Structure 1
Amino acid sequence: MAPPATSYPLIPGKHLLLVFILTPVLSQHLPAEHLSTLVEENYTLWCGFSAHDLTFSEDESENVTLFVSGEPEEEITLMFSHDGDNILQEIPNITVGTDGGYVGENITVSLVGIRVGHTVLLVDATPGNMTDVSQAFVRVSVNHNDDLDYFSDVVGWVYFTAWSVSFYPQIYINWRRKSVIGLHFDFLSLNIVGFFMYSLFNVCLYWAPVIQRQYFLRHPFGVNPVQLNDVIFSLHAFFACSIQVLQCCIYERGDQRISKTAKGILSGIAMASILMVILGSTQVVLWLDFLYFVSYVKLFITLIKYIPQAYYNYRRKSTSGWSIGNILLDFTGGMLSVAQMFIIAYNYNDWGSIFGDPTKFGLGLFSVIFDVFFMIQHYVLYRGTEGYERNLNSPQPTHSSSLTESVSSVDYGAVGSIH
């Protein structure tokens, strides 16, 4: 599972026509926060746009203001550039300084979209060692239709809700039955560790200034990939998994236990995490790289966590005790998540976000495939074997070693008809 993606990080390259209008207006004094930068770096001029993100539809226009402040000792030429082919109309250079004017004034730039996509408008200066242009960039997004953006947002919040609610059918079943038999402990242990890692990544990147500084040093024109809804979702998911772990401690669980394989995997994750913390503390690696490691752990867990439960259902020939409501909600969220990817890809002509880098799309599709497999188990393969009693004549399990064999196939089953 993953929370709804914000539109911008998924937005593709944009194709724009920029019509440059120089309109000197009110005098603009140098922002105080940039004064020290000019002094420390020996800059004599500072340039920056009033906004770093603009989104609008093709054949529409949007204005952005370029602030120019300082006391240049000579004329400085500002040159506008952008990435991509045929995305922006060439913008004429402008000269600022003692003879060129515009210092202490606002320059209005009108952006007109002619093709959907995404680009970054940059400003370079000549001579380059006299002008601070670190804030002179705009990420521009041009879409087919604003209504598709609104629809994408609605889809995002629907699957956010579906995924958030999906934890509770299993919690409810455990409470009604006063038993967790049927819920594989390997799945639960991997799930809670995965969401702990996901929460750690989101919380640190959203709230920790040192992590944010490292991120923007590495991605100067990027946007923070973590939004508030990501933080809320991951923390809530970890909380819901914690409730299920508590239920495993207080309700009937038979001889279920975490397998040696799962313990080995979790131990490996713990040792690798401790090593990365040590490396981060000694400044061998950045804390940002530690968070990337944490995110890779979450992706790895997502790839393997369903296997124990699927095999457990197969060995028991039953899905009793395993909530089908959880699967239906997860399937709904997964399908809507994939649908949102296609909506955004179409609206911003960003098919490369799906097919060029298939990681996120592949993980979402992987989860949906497992959901379909669980539904086939529940509604087709084991439809008539939802509940069964413990076979008292069956031999007791000795010690589990495999990720898929931590519970005997015949010793325990869920009694009752609540699913």
Structure 2
Amino acid sequence: MLAEFCGWGYAVLWGVSFYPSLILNWSIKSADSISLDYLVLNICGYLCYSCSIFQMFFNSLVRQQFQLVYDGSLPLLTLADLFYAFHGLLLQCILLTQVIFGNYLWKFKNERRSYNVDKFTKVIILAFACYLLIIYVGFSTNKELELCLNLATLKIFASLIKYIPQVRFNMRRRSMYGISRIQVYLDASGAILCLSEFFIKNNLPITEAINSNRGKVGIAVITLLFASIFIFQFSLYTDQPPELKKNDIELGYTKI
């Protein structure tokens, strides 16, 4: 019962955490605070994770291979994980429309002049594709399972890499304007519940359990780490756009 509560609790918190950014962008009529590199990597990560979770749930061959490798156990996944993955992918795509088509579809006043992603981001995406091809071709047995597990691994790397441009973007602007505190707190709380569910439900040796559920555990750890970094940045930087003085207007944008 407690594990089920933690499972749905993290899915709901992480699901809800996507909305403050969308609402915040709508309220300030701008999505310029969102790093495009962050967003592209995030979408790639969610696409990989959604494919992995879907196969783990509905592909009988993958589930049979999982049981053979992990002593009859099945993945520690529930419908909450499936909901989180596909819901997250959908909302990140909506956020992308705010960044790229905000002035046309959302009636924003975006001032972004370039929509080119960094060369580093392009290299990362190409490396992901090559990595998956090597995994699928290189394994002679259980290749479907290995592909699913490594799709989840790529989500971990995407989660690790995607936050770095946003952290640097905040540092360069020396402002947290357009970044929602609520989203950060929801991310941190969801990560704690996700890890709690994992430890409650697990009946395998810890190393095997982490390896077989690497996507879920890895995402939770990285999310908690960077949520802590963003909370620290909130204490360092202003919530106002750099061009406005504190006494010009009471913004309060991060209080939604």
Fold in common (TM above 0.5): yes
What's the CA shift for 1:292? 2.1
Match of 1:205 in 2: 56
Question: Is 1:418 aligned with 2:253?
Answer: yes
What's the CA shift for 1:219? 4.0
Question: Is 1:255 aligned with 2:108?
Answer: no
Rounded to whole Å, the distance in 1 between the matches of 2:220 and 2:124 is: 23
Structure 1 residues 245 and 253: CA distance shift in structure 2, 3 A:
farther
Where in structure 2 are the equivalents of 1:225-374 lying within 5 Å? 225-251=76-102, 252-255=110-113, 257-274=116-133, 276=135, 279=137, 286-341=143-198, 344=200, 353=206, 364-374=220-230
Instruction: Tell me if structure 2 keeps the 8 A contact 1:354–1:361.
Output: no
Instruction: Tell me if structure 2 keeps the 8 A contact 1:167–1:240.
Output: yes
Rounded to whole Å, the distance in 2 between the matches of 1:283 and 1:340 is: 33
Which of structure 1's runs of 4+ aligned residues deviate more than 6 A? 282-285
Question: Is 1:167 aligned with 2:18?
Answer: yes
What's the CA shift for 1:220? 5.3
1:121-152 Cα distance to aligned partner (Å, 9 max, x none): xxxxxxxxxxxxxxxxxxxxxxxxxxxxx233
Structure 1 residues 247 and 306: CA distance shift in structure 2, 3 A:
same
1:26-82 Cα distance to aligned partner (Å, 9 max, x none): xxxxxxxxxxxxxxxxxxxxxxxxxxxxxxxxxxxxxxxxxxxxxxxxxxxxxxxxx
- State the one-letter code of the partner of 1:270: A
1:262-293 Cα distance to aligned partner (Å, 9 max, x none): 1111122123334556x38x978722222222
Match of 2:7 in 1: 156
Equivalent position SS for 1:305: helix
Instruction: Tell me if structure 1 keeps the 8 A contact 2:24–2:253.
Output: yes
Match of 2:39 in 1: 188
Structure 1 segments unaligned to the other structure (5+ residues):
1-149, 391-415
Match of 2:243 in 1: 389
- State the one-letter code of the partner of 1:197: C
Instruction: Tell me if structure 1 keeps the 8 A contact 2:36–2:117.
Output: yes
Structure 1 residues 283 and 361: CA distance shift in structure 2, 3 A:
closer
Equivalent position SS for 2:178: coil
Structure 2 segments unaligned to the other structure (5+ residues):
103-109, 245-250
Where in structure 2 are the equivalents of 1:89-100 lying within 5 Å? none
Q: Superposition RMSD on alpha carbons, in Å?
A: 3.1
What's the CA shift for 1:339? 3.9
Equivalent position SS for 2:145: helix
1:174-196 Cα distance to aligned partner (Å, 9 max, x none): 22233211111111111111110
Structure 1 residues 354 and 170: CA distance shift in structure 2, 3 A:
farther
Structure 1 residues 339 and 284: CA distance shift in structure 2, 3 A:
closer
1:291-340 Cα distance to aligned partner (Å, 9 max, x none): 22212211211222211111110111001122222111101112233344
Q: TM-score, normalised by structure 1?
A: 0.50
| Structure with the largest fraction of strand | 1
1:191-232 Cα distance to aligned partner (Å, 9 max, x none): 111110000001112112333333334445122443322212
1:69-115 Cα distance to aligned partner (Å, 9 max, x none): xxxxxxxxxxxxxxxxxxxxxxxxxxxxxxxxxxxxxxxxxxxxxxx
Rounded to whole Å, the distance in 2 between the matches of 1:237 and 1:265 is: 21
Structure 1 residues 255 and 275: CA distance shift in structure 2, 3 A:
farther
Match of 1:27 in 2: none
Match of 1:376 in 2: 232
Structure 1 residues 253 and 243: CA distance shift in structure 2, 3 A:
farther
Match of 1:221 in 2: 72
Rounded to whole Å, the distance in 2 between the matches of 1:223 and 1:340 is: 15
